[in-house]
Chain A
Amino acid sequence: MRLEYTGGQELFRTEVREWLAANLPREPLHSLDTQSGFEQHRAWERKLSERGFSAVTWPAALGGRGCDLIEWLIFEEEYWAAGAPLRVNQNGVFLLAPTLMEYGTPEQKARFLPRMVRADDIWAQGWSEPGAGSDMAAIRCKAIRDNGHYVISGQKTWSTRAVWADWLFGLFRSQPDSKRHYGLTFLLLPLKAPGISIRPIQQLNGLTGFAEISFDEVRVPVENAVGEEGAGWSIAMAAAGFECGLMLHSPGHFQQTARALVELYRRHRESADCDPAIRDAVLRSWIGAEAYALATYRTACRLAKGGQIGAEASTNKICWSELDLLMHETAMAILGSRAELMPHAPDAAGVGHWLDGFLFAQAGPICAGTNEIQRNLIAERMLGLPRA
């Protein structure tokens, strides 16, 4: 055990910090759930890519920096500490790319990865359907083979960023009479393809961050399938592993929120201490963020030594999503009657981002496999309890 950074790692940290200080947008970007904000975030991703920072863990030859997981953690720490924008490109870079690198053909990699790293293509996900949420194996959206194409008919929903994204990856039923996990194929398709209609769904915060997608005989060439036809489930599970496990919820983000919460508490100490539970919740928040960081470092080191992410992915999901709620609920409690103000309210006094975060935190325990599903996975796969 050696819990210290190497000289090279410290240099990398300095490089990231210096670059961010020089290149961060001067004004906060609009929300990435608006059209203008989406394009601003795309431009920011492009800026990041000039330095290999849009996908630091990718090999340099593909436009990344060839970082190992510790360097990735360092990058993320500096990124969030600098107050840098949310990552509009994260579905592609952190979810699809690892899947493509593992299961994609050389042609697919050459075709999609360079455009992804420059944010020329922003990717949305197509998993859930109106009848397939937590029960993802209930997918019905059809992809029928016809003359070198799949013909897609059906619906996907809760597709984050699909309103403005360029491409979609997801699971489709390629064998019409198949059941559950069998007969599904992992497909890539352009969201501008004929036959696709996208209905934006207004979120809790009033913005259209996700959408319902209808497919009316959309033709997708067979070379857009990732992996074997019918083997989509295991490929999707690998993607879900990347998602829940690590990359999308780096500890730096939560540590930054925890630090901001401590500062918020200190600024409002006199009123906050009228409810002693607040001080305790601030302390628990900070401890929780720190514990999440430590556990992530441990996982990163285990992976570096050839370990695998197993059911820890599910414990991670529960940890960060409940921590995020705790932190924002605590911030709301500190802010009291100001907490309800929209960020642009004239007397919001610059604290409106806590409301944004609070609303967003409501999604945490629901998205990417509800926490109930995660607890089932922990109980069955980690503890070995019998299935229902």
Chain B
Amino acid sequence: MDFTFDDRQLAFRDSIRKFLMVEAAPEMLRETWETTASGRSAELRTKLAQHGLTALSVPEELGGLNLGDLDWVLIHQELGYFAIPDSLVATAYLGVDLLKGLLAENSLGRAWLPRVAAGSARIAVSHPINLFVADAKNAELLLLWHEDEVHALHPGQVQLRLNPSIDQSRRLYKVEWTPSDATRVCKAALGGKLWTGVIDRAGLAISAQLIGLAQRMLDLGVDHAAQRKQFGRPIGSFQSVKHQLADVAVKIEFAEPVVHRAAYALANGDSRAAVYVSQARLVAGEAALLAARRSIQVHGAMGYTWEADLQMFMKRAWALDATWGDRKFHKARMARHVFADSAELGPGSTFLRAARPAIPRSSTRCGTDCA
């Protein structure tokens, strides 16, 4: 049992954190989001690729780093903390996951994975669990669900209608398209499995981003409370303000390990992975929503402005919490698990274990009870 990350994973996370702190400052992101149609910066994408973020889960022979969900989960938290828009996760985590699943079927993966790793292609992923497709117009390749099949289309083959979101980082599109034999890259038999994996990985990515967002909003609230003075002292010295922020710290503390267990389960093909992901979504969402509410309260009127950075992170938390399965979806999945007749729920069931060893009878008992 080892519930810690190794030094390499932590060092990589730290290096990404330092990089994003400098290169993805809020004012830079806001300018891109507010002044460009795409909402994306080619320059930032190049830098993300230079730091390996587009190559993380691409196989080595196709130009990637061949890392897994456990490496990703720490990075997802950073992507949340720095409000990196959806396109990176859709491309380098979800899109790559689908393409890797198709490697034995056709040449699509071999064609696209090296480009993704190099940072020269964006992928948009569409599944009916979402009403809209994020970054569809920014993508060179669209991977679309149709009756559990996977279809691959170029932007020229689809009709897109932009639906503005309150989260300025998001570029949401209604996608209209016609499935055909020519667009199909995978039949439903395999596709069903691949889409299940995509939903779970999207859930993991979002729950980890929500943890990062919660931490960011908490940090912003703490900074504001330490600096803002009223009645001659920092408002953060008042107990009622302290307690609002302490509650958020508690929520994060008890949500993060749930997210990390979900990552471990996905990385190891654990049969409970879907349930663990939903659990992670619920607790991480709760932490992020509380962080938003408490941080805006601590910010006072400043929190209600466009000017304060808090709004970027609040809106992203509100939006992500309802993406790739909203709370209703994930709560229903949890309820099916917890209220099932066969549910194994009590102490000792926290980690999936090999079949429980039957209690061996002691030899004395055995001698008298069973011949």
Contact = CB atoms under 8 A, between A and B. Distances in A.
A73 to B, nearest CB: 9
Contacts of B233: 386
Contacts of A358: none
Interface in A46-86: 70, 74, 76-78, 80-81
B334 A283 contact: yes
B237 A386 contact: yes
Given A1-B3, A14-B359, A290 B348 contact: no
Contact of A290 (B238, B242, B350): B350
A6 B241 CA distance: 45
Interface string B38-69: 00000000000000000000000000000000
B347 A388 contact: no
Contact of A378 (B250, B283, B339, B346): B250
B239 A376 contact: yes
Interface residues of B, number: 58
A297 B350 contact: yes
Q: Is the interface of B mostly helix, strand, loop or mixed?
A: helix
B357 interface: yes
Contacts of B260: 1, 294, 298
Contacts of B365: 22
Interface stretch (B17-25, B105-113, B251-259): B251-259
Contact of A291 (B242, B254, B334): B254
Interface stretch (A196-204, A226-234, A253-261): A253-261
A279 interface: yes
Nearest to A377: B246
B225 interface: yes
A41 B121 CA distance: 68
Contacts of A319: 250, 253-254
Contact of A298 (B4, B241, B343, B353): B4
A297 B257 contact: yes
A287 B1 contact: no
Contact of A1 (B4, B239, B254): B4
Contacts of B253: 295, 312, 315, 319
A3 B245 contact: no
Contacts of A32: none
B238 A388 contact: yes
Most chain B CB within a 10 A radius of its CB, from A291, A297, A302, A319: A291
A328 to B, nearest CB: 17
Contacts, number: 184
Contact of A301 (B3, B241, B242, B283): B3
Given A18-B360, A388-B239, A383 B348 contact: no
Given A10-B357, A258-B345, A385 B351 contact: no
Given A77-B347, A387-B237, A266 B279 contact: no
A302 B357 contact: no
Given A81-B346, A255-B347, A386 B226 contact: yes
A3 B348 contact: no
A244 to B, nearest CB: 13
Interface string B219-248: 000100110000001101111011101110
Interface string B1-14: 11111100000000
A209 interface: no
B2 A301 contact: yes
B362 interface: yes
B166 interface: no
Interface in A19-36: 21-22
B338 A286 contact: yes
A272 B343 CA distance: 20
B160 interface: no
A251 interface: yes
A1 B5 contact: yes
A34 to B, nearest CB: 27
5 shortest A-B CB distances, which residue pairs? Answer: A379-B242, A252-B347, A77-B347, A259-B346, A294-B257
Interface of B: 1-6, 70, 218, 222, 225-226, 233-234, 236-239, 241-243, 245-247, 249-250, 253-258, 260-261, 264-265, 279, 282-283, 331, 334-335, 338-339, 343, 345-351, 353-354, 357, 359-360, 362, 365
Given A376-B242, A385-B222, A385-B234, 13 more contacts: A3-B1, A5-B1, A10-B357, A18-B362, A262-B338, A294-B258, A295-B253, A295-B254, A297-B1, A301-B4, A315-B250, A383-B218, A385-B242
26 contacts: A5-B351, A5-B353, A6-B1, A13-B348, A14-B357, A18-B359, A80-B347, A256-B347, A262-B343, A280-B331, A282-B338, A288-B254, A293-B347, A295-B254, A297-B1, A297-B257, A300-B3, A302-B3, A372-B243, A374-B246, A375-B243, A376-B243, A380-B242, A383-B249, A385-B237, A386-B236
